[in-house]
Amino acid sequence: MKILHVISGGETGGSRKHLVTLLAQFPKEMVTLAVFQEGALAEEAREAGIQVEVFKQSSRYDLSILNRLVRFVQEENFDILHTHGPRANLFGIYVSLRSQIKWVTTVHSDPMLDFMKSGLKGTIFTKLHLLALKRMDYYFAVSALFKENLVKMGIPSEKIKTIYNGIEFNELSATPIKRESLGIGEEDFVMTMVARLHPVKGHEVVFQALKEVQLPQVKLLLVGDGPIKEELHAKVKALNIETEVKFLGFRDDVDALYATSNLALLASYSESFPLALLEAANQRLPLITTDVGGVRELVRTDETGWIVPIKDAEALAAAINSAYARWQEGILTEMGERLYDHASQHFSLNHLYREIIETYEKMIIV
């Protein structure tokens, strides 16, 4: 059995790490990763021993690579095409028609929000992406909600498998990064939010909650980059919370940042099953998260963290106050330990790998 995974290659968020860690579990001769540009994804995949093929585009609208991609599929005799993300899904239409290969996708995000704030162009791309999503043989939905969304689109339920993300859990926590290097003190209550600087991630709601909390010891570390970076910097300045918020940009030491923190934060309006929360759980950090994707499978309110409604700054502020109070009482770390125990038992990378490969085998038999 040979599987070709296709993704744009420019990803910097959870889908990139999900793909690299997952493909590294497969026998090397079984999987190949195709990307449309060089970048961190291709580099990390090679370092993990994954075969990578680059079909370089002159722009994201360059369709000349499609015939090369089809020839590659045919010459290498791949059994399954596994696409990730809107661009790969759109190109998958042409590849599947020309090669008759079995085609599956992983739905990492809500397709209705992928082109949020992109104007007319975003509206057109959304419609094209929805068209592509209706043509596949099988689907992995990374949350029960995403499966429900696909069913509402008219996709038969039996073609969709809900399969939560997984990571490799470690018995020992990472070595914490020194707080002084981040401009924060040992006495501070540190929250870390790992998310692209994108409208769907809810940063502005977090800023509003932080302004409402008004606790001088509370600091917020923002890890990630994205299209609304300048807009968010301006918002922080306008709210006069510049001393509380630290923009760290893209980092490859997230585990160490979590290890030096007291709490992990997610404020997205839509998610699948966020890897960032599993990575926080791996560092024994309790969580505050919006009620998105499959987080209810991970977080138990008041036991391992807090779940709040999306776009609700008041509820988010209340959760931060509750976490802060438990930190002062010295009992917040117990919540993080309970979260680690639960997550490591139910969301391992090995479990994810076994679920996916069993599905591949069934697809080939059918």
Alpha-carbon distance values, 241 to 43, 54, 176, 267, 310 (Å): 37, 43, 25, 18, 22
Is the pLDDT at 110 greater than 70, yes or no?
no
Residues of each domain in the chain carrying CATH 3.40.50.2000: 3-168+348-365, 179-346
Average pLDDT over every residue of 331-358:
92
Average pLDDT over every residue of 236-251:
95
Q: Looking at the whole model, is its pTM more than 0.95? A: no
* Second-level CATH architecture of 179-346: 3-Layer(aba) Sandwich (3.40)
Q: What is the pLDDT at residue 12? A: 66
Confidence of residue 318 (pLDDT cuts 50, 70, 90): very high
Q: Which two tokens stand for residue 31?
A: 């999987």
User: Rounded CA gap, 58 and 56, in Å?
Assistant: 7
Residue found by looking up tokens 């923002």 in the block? 222
Residue 112 in contact with residue 126, Cβ under 8 Å? yes
User: Rounded CA gap, 21 and 33, in Å?
Assistant: 12
Helix, strand, coil content of the chain in percent (nearest 5): 45, 15, 35
Name the CA radius of gyration of the chain, rounded: 21
Confidence of residue 282 (pLDDT cuts 50, 70, 90): very high
User: Rounded CA gap, 310 and 290, in Å?
Assistant: 5
Fold of 3-168+348-365: Rossmann fold (3.40.50)
Average pLDDT over every residue of 82-104:
92
Is the pLDDT at 142 greater than 70, yes or no?
yes
Question: Higher model confidence: residue 116 or residue 256?
Answer: 256
Question: Higher model confidence: residue 313 or residue 113?
Answer: 313
Q: What is the pLDDT at residue 122? A: 67
Of 62, 66, 98, 101, residue with least CA distance to 80:
101
Q: In what order do the strands lie in the sheet with 51-54?
A: 51-54, 31-35, 3-6, 80-84, 102-107, 138-141, 160-162
Is the pLDDT at 126 greater than 80, yes or no?
no
Residue 88 in contact with residue 8, Cβ under 8 Å? yes
Is the pLDDT at 176 greater than 90, yes or no?
yes
